[in-house]
Amino acid sequence: MNPILLQKFIQLIADYTGLHIREQDYDSLCNKIFLRIKLLKLSSPEQYYKLLESQNKTSKNEWEKFIILLTVTETYFFRDQGQLALLKNVILPEIIKSKIASNEKKIKIWSAGCSTGEEPYSLAIMIQELIPDWQEWDILILGTDINEVALTKAKEGIYSYWSFRLLDERIKNKYFSEFKEEWHLDEEVKNMVNFSNINLVIDDFPSNNDLILCRNVLVYFEEKQISLVIKKFYNSLLKGGYLITAHAELYGQTLGKFKVKVFPESLVYQRDKDKQDENYLADSLPILAEKTIPINKSLPSSLTNSISSKKFTKSGIGYDAKKQILFNLNNKINQNKKDKIAGKITQINSNLQPSQSEDLLLEAAGLFAAKAYNDAIKKAEYFLSLNPKNFRAYKLLAELYANLGKYKRATFYCNQAIEINGSSVEPYYLLVNIAEEQGDIEGAKILLKRIIYLFPQEIPAYIELGSLYAVEKNIIRARKMKNIALEMLKKLPADDIVEYKGGIKVSQLVEYLQGGY
């Protein structure tokens, strides 16, 4: 296809749906366009473009069919256990308590980008579990999507075993009945959910929502459309209402009037209740919560490698002259960077059973070490197509895209890695570096606070957060973070290595921190 016409298609798709078409997906997009041209018996791509552009009933009908080819419908019940635990234990009980206090037994929840319905039905089940007399409440759960085929399936409420891969057996047996190797949802749950086709970019939004979930949707959108949708979400919430997206989906985005609230399980975004809440931020969260998490004295080499790459430069917002001392010290105790990566690959190989698909991931890691990022991405994404729930592949892809400066895509893969393994600190650190590279000091601070909340004895997080406070000239908080790190370091053997900025002895890091900010 003519490259100029292809770019016009890409821009038209972004304007109509918000979807961002990646460069590596150009060939796939062309195939989809030519498929529709063939089915419609049109003579050229130009004719098809004019059809989509025309903004009439025929155009709208064609967009419905074309969108089916463009959108992703992969989902399952109770996806992301961390966020759903937050909903079950904090957000929904808070909403319920508020409604009871105001004597208004009415709750409205919107699942935006609901695909085949697993998310809104999960919310309906959760409401039934939380409210014993839910039948006496006015409860509306709205599931919307741009894909009509997905919505048709959602309305049926019939699912295969694959949709239940993380669902508790008690819940499945209570709310579903098996028939001919399919699972049919209980009618009472189905009746709690209404489905509708909504294009988040061009359509009006439902109003007066207590809670909106829009997870793994905006990551596919163009920057301009994300900003538009965020504003529309804010206006469609009641005061004090919540917006929940996938992990890291809005990092680097302008959040407008939304307040960020940090929980161990996720960031959430809240519409202002009143002026008293306007300055809420994560500083009110406990820094050293009691948790039975062992001291993590080092960061994985794969993470430090990505931090040290050409894209993550020392001129970022968290850099100061004293950090150069750390880099000089590292030279005394670290091996050559390429040897280090090669050793990592060897270690991975020794822990794996030989297989063709695992070899692909090892090859991708080797290409990463050689800075052949685009070739590494192709290998890693192909591996991921064969192993769709592999944490290491998502993490590697996040690092690769970060090193190419494609931060939106890197953030998406970090998000996927966190969803698979929320107990790993590595994707969070990569997100911190992405925020710093983009000049988002507030976003980097929020992420570091989340690391500290999840991993209270994660020494590098305190040091990095202290450095950011120092950049802001907030010396009191900078010193507080430094002192916490010092107290933890003094409990460790002096010759132990803390793999901070590549690796440094405890004694040397203590000396560095004692120099003050």
The predicted-structure confidence for 41-96, as pLDDT tens digits, reads as follows 998 999 999 999 888 889 888 988 888 788 765 565 667 677 888 899 999 999 99
Using CB atoms within 10 A of its CB, is residue 474 exposed (0-12), middle (13-18) or buried (19+)? middle
- In this predicted structure, which of 118-132, 283-297, 355-369 has the lowest mean pLDDT? 283-297
Is 0.75 topped by the overall pTM?
Answer: no
- pLDDT exceeds 80 at position 272: yes
| pLDDT of res. 443 | 84
- In this predicted structure, which of 230-234, 306-310, 383-387, 473-477 has the lowest mean pLDDT? 306-310
Which of 73-77, 344-348, 388-392 has the highest average model confidence (pLDDT)? Answer: 388-392
Going 356 to 358 to 364 to 366, the CA torsion angle's sign is: negative
User: What is the 3 state secondary structure string of 322-386?
Assistant: CHHHHHHHHHHHCCCHHHHHHHHHHHHHHCCCCCHHHHHHHHHHHHHHCCCHHHHHHHHHHHHHH
Band the pLDDT of 192: cuts 50, 70, 90.
very high
Beta-bridge mates of residue 109: 141, 211
Cα distance between residue 424 and residue 249, in whole Å: 18
The predicted-structure confidence for 417-435, as pLDDT tens digits, reads as follows 888 887 788 899 999 989 8
Burial call 191-202: b when 16+ CB within 10 Å, e when fewer = ebbebeebebbe
Tell me the pLDDT of the chain averaged across its residues. 78
Band the pLDDT of 99: cuts 50, 70, 90.
very high
Over residues 125-140, mean pLDDT: 94
Are the beta carbons of 216 and 418 closer than 8 angstroms? no
Beta-bridge mates of residue 294: none
Q: Alpha helices, DSSP H only, in 426-501?
A: 426-437, 441-454, 459-471, 475-489
| pLDDT of res. 195 | 95
Backbone angles phi, psi at 505, to 5 degrees: -65, 150
| pLDDT of res. 165 | 57
Nearest to 267 by CA among 238, 243, 283: 243
- pLDDT exceeds 50 at position 225: yes
| pLDDT of res. 73 | 59
Over residues 226-237, mean pLDDT: 92
Are the beta carbons of 337 and 308 closer than 8 angstroms? yes
State how beta strands 267-270 and 259-262 pair: antiparallel
Cα distance between residue 464 and residue 316, in whole Å: 12
Band the pLDDT of 188: cuts 50, 70, 90.
very high
Over residues 341-353, mean pLDDT: 41
